[in-house]
Structure 1
Amino acid sequence: MKIQDIIEGKKEWRAHMARVKALPQDYQIVYKEIQKYLFKVGPVELTEGTELLSGIVDLFEEGVALGKGVLAVTGRDVAAFCDDLIKDSKTYADIYQASVAQEVNQAMKKITKI
């Protein structure tokens, strides 16, 4: 990664966060919780750009423009909302589960050879 790419990434992130800070307080709170949730269990692609997070901000800005409360946009179960957003994406948990399964299979093969 070039220095220029890092600088551009930081500019993009700052602009993104400025959009978040322009949202009403209830939207900001829910956004931050969504962000934490996605960073913990979210898709691998999340670290490659801000498309998913920007899409959430777009949705939230639309909700604000329509005068909706944040839970009217996400639903009362915000974790389920997040899960639905990433349901077809490969997550770090998926990668870890696959590596554990592979390790177990290799260990079992060694045991059966004994």
Structure 2
Amino acid sequence: MNFSERISGRDITKEMKAFEMRAKVLPPDYQTAWKEIIQNLWIYGDSTGRNLMPIFDSVLELLEVTSEDGQSIDEVLGDDSKGFCAALVGDEGAKTYRDKWREQLNKNVAKKLGGLT
């Protein structure tokens, strides 16, 4: 990946397009699950989403293998796709980007208030 692709985010766009092409050959119920997983995982990404690319790749590989084995999507993910995604990123206590921003804002406010007293 070159510098301009990294700065512009085109590297992520290319990876996501490649993931989407792979997902198009999955059965319809797997495609629906893939879309839900992507939506549920984005909130755990950093500002660029690069930290999620290996996770997306692994999840898509799991879906490809299990669909080839003939398993149903419920056997693979269970009935809680949000819980599945939370477990992927490090358990239910994993912080979303909103949590991280809120924590940083609180630290900045506390620092400013502490400096005034």
Tell me the TM-score normalized by structure 1.
Answer: 0.77
- Going from structure 1 to structure 2, the CA distance change for 1:67 and 1:24 (only over 3 Å counts) comes to same
Of 9, 28, 33, 2:36 maps to: 33
What RMSD over aligned residues (CA atoms) do the two structures have, in Å? 2.8
Deviation, 1:45, is: 8.0
- In the alignment, is the contact (CA less than 8 A) between 1:46 and 1:52 conserved in 2? no
Cα shift readout 1:73-112 (whole Å, capped 9, x = no counterpart): 011111000000011766413421321330342254256x
Gaps of 5+ in 1: none
Change (3 A) 1:104 1:7: closer
**TM-score of the superposed pair, with normalisation by structure 2:** 0.76
2:73 matches 1:70: yes
Alpha-carbon distance in structure 2 between the residues aligned to 1:87 and 1:9: 22
Q: Secondary structure at the match of 2:49?
A: helix
Unmatched 5+ stretches in structure 2 = none
Query: Matches of residues 7-86 of structure 1 in structure 2 within 5 Å?
Result: 9-39=12-42, 41-44=43-46, 47-48=49-50, 50-86=53-89
Counterpart pick for 1:96 among 96, 101, 106: 101
| Structure with higher helix content | 1
Q: For the residues of structure 1 that align with 2:105 and 2:5, how far apart are their CA atoms?
A: 36
Q: After TM superposition, give the deviation of residue 42 of structure 1 in Å.
A: 1.5
Structure 1 runs (4+) deviating above 6 angstroms are none
Look up the equivalent residue of 1:66 and give its one-letter code. D
Tell me the number of residue pairs that the alignment of Structure 1 and Structure 2 aligns: 111
